[in-house]
Chain A
Amino acid sequence: MAEGKSLPADLSDRGVTAQIAGAVLHPPGSGWAWLAVLGASGLLVAMLLVSIFWLFFKGVGVWGINIPVNWGIAISNTVWWIGIGHAGTFISAVLLVTGQHWRNSLNRFAEAMTLLAATCAAMYPVLHLGRPFYFYWVIPYPNVMHVWPQFRSPLEWDMFAFFTYLTVSLIFWYVGMIPDMAALRDTATGRRRQVVYGLMALGWRGSAAHWARWRRAYVIVAAIAVPLVVSVHSGVALLFAVGPIPGWHSTIFPPYFVLGAVFSGFAVVVMLAIVLRAVFGFRDLITDRHMDLLGQWLLATGLMTSYGYVMDAFTAWYSAEPFERGTLLDRVAGPYALSYWSAVVLNFVPLQLLWLPWLRRTMPVMFAVALAVTLGMWFERYMLVESALSRDFLPSSWGPYVPSLWEWMLFFGLVGFFLFAFTLFVRFLPAVPIAEVKEVLHEEREE
């Protein structure tokens, strides 16, 4: 995949700084459009706060969850959000370790996406607790009650996985941004900006010794983050396997979860990249070649996810276990058929357009496919969690699940939170790494 250059040959170092720092220091347009997006997503954030307040005030009874389906869209959304986050780590870490230059135009905003998606994901288990104000009980700390958390519990694993994932993503993101903060400090004209970016740059001066150590630390953290990507979502899959519920036990689950996660995350990266290109005119930085490669990744991970669907169904059928087969039937032709077929159709059918190279470079097509995938993956997570819980071994523990209005408000509120924070990010921080794009520029010029 190394052949072909990802950046235009006439792009200069000064041009890179001017474009990326310019998007922050002198944003295009009058600012009204930005404020409008911020305001609209801010309204959704207000809705989020209302729904959280009501949840805390009345308890989880305001949700549609019940026995037997006590994992509603709260848990399927956790899986969905953390999955979206994985593409950011994948682009930053896996492609860095494997030396793929084209990642450099994408990694910064993909990492921001990871941080925000992981934050949204981490909120759900806490909100879901019933007594959310005691969430710190799952954190091991010396306490006067002389009580330790139960490390054999999947809930405990969740805490470690999410906390580590958030912290590592934050460190990786910030360490990568230190040199760019220095570039902004030296490009900014206003005193206030110089001070704020100067403090965030920690006094970075581009010293070669600093660069060498920075590069070493960056690569080490990336190399450690590669197994982290796999472990977090396989951990989630393992969490399902620990519950004795039919439909949660195929051995394909861990890879299928991880690939589905990267698949949905790449879809969101595609949508964000298209918007950034349109709004900030980053066409020299996020080129058609980048979109083409993203399209190939979508296609590859999508086909692997489809293989997961086939294997999941095959395992249920081949097990000859009536309960496994029953869950499969519920998904294919039962009360959860809508979510099952939405997932299969949205994740598989539009994807086939991406076999054609010219369609991978046609932005409306890419956007539509990516949106379909994002929705399809949501249906997949919903189908996996809810259909399995609603009918297990005894008819006495069968029950339907319908999400309540408060759950939907919380969900769309979190989508609003994601958009709100991302809007702030592109306005105040460099959405594309300045130094790393220059590095690629010089390397490609030498080739």
Chain B
Amino acid sequence: MPRPLPLYGLMAEFDTPDQLLAAVKQARADGYRRLDAYTPMPVSGMGEALGTNTSPIAWAALAGGVFGGGGGLFMEWYANVVSYPLNIGGRPEAAWPAFVLPAFELTVLGATIFAALAMLALNRLPRLNHPVFEAPRFSAAEVDRFFLCIEAADPHFRPERTRAFLEACGAVSVSEVPG
């Protein structure tokens, strides 16, 4: 007899984003912590309901901007004053007004790249395989269906009780996600 597959979690399917949002809030209130919602479009309030902290992205953008702008300004100063000074008509070597434009562009560049990379890194992307892709009908999560997955790793997780909870939240169907 084959061993039963380890369980990743239980996946509940909902009709509308509002039902899903209500279910997420209910699950958090019941003490579930390892859960995630899957939607075809950003749903406002869903990230907060799940307790997702997005502020590291803002800090990464700030760091990228400071690195790009400060580093750019330093590079310009170092290049045109220390490493390769050119005296053109007695004009100042540290020509701050002329240095501003490249430094500004590098600020924007650094902030953008850091923000995008921070988003990918925090989301653990790229990651091409993931257990939830095995859930039945999950591809509809990119079209028009709304899913809530409570992971088996959640200390609060009990297969029967969690299934009953999800059904009580108004899920259309609840299915097992193999781990």
Contact = CB atoms under 8 A, between A and B. Distances in A.
Do A and B pair up? The answer is: yes
B43 A238 contact: no
A221 B64 CA distance: 11
A211 B39 contact: yes
Contacts of B84: 146-148
A13 B143 contact: yes
Interface stretch (B1-9, B117-125, B156-164, B166-174): B117-125
Nearest to A181: B142
A212 B54 contact: yes
Name the prevailing secondary structure of the B interface residues.
helix
Interface string A433-447: 011101100110000
Interface in B133-156: 133, 138-144
A150 B79 CA distance: 8
Contact of B41 (A146, A172, A224, A436): A436
B132 interface: yes
Contact of B80 (A152, A182, A225): A152
Contacts of B86: 150
Please classify how large the interface on chain A is, using the bins under 10, 10 to 19, 20 to 34, 35 or more.
35 or more
Nearest to B68: A164
Given A152-B98, A156-B102, A203 B126 contact: yes
Interface in A379-429: none
B61 interface: yes
Given A171-B112, A171-B113, A439 B41 contact: yes
Interface residues of B, number: 66
Contacts, number: 205
B76 interface: yes
Which of B111, B123, B141 has the largest number of chain A CB atoms within 10 A? Answer: B123
B101 A217 contact: no
Given A151-B80, A183-B143, A221 B102 contact: no
Contacts of A192: none
Given A203-B127, A206-B142, A149 B79 contact: yes
B142 A220 contact: no
Contacts of B27: none
Interface of B: 17, 24, 36-44, 46-50, 52, 54, 57-58, 61, 65, 75-76, 79-80, 83-84, 86, 88, 91, 95, 98-99, 101-102, 104-106, 108-109, 111-113, 115-116, 118-120, 122-123, 125-130, 132-133, 138-144
Given A150-B86, A172-B112, A443-B44, 11 more contacts: A17-B144, A157-B101, A161-B101, A187-B139, A199-B128, A202-B127, A213-B47, A213-B54, A231-B101, A439-B41, A439-B42
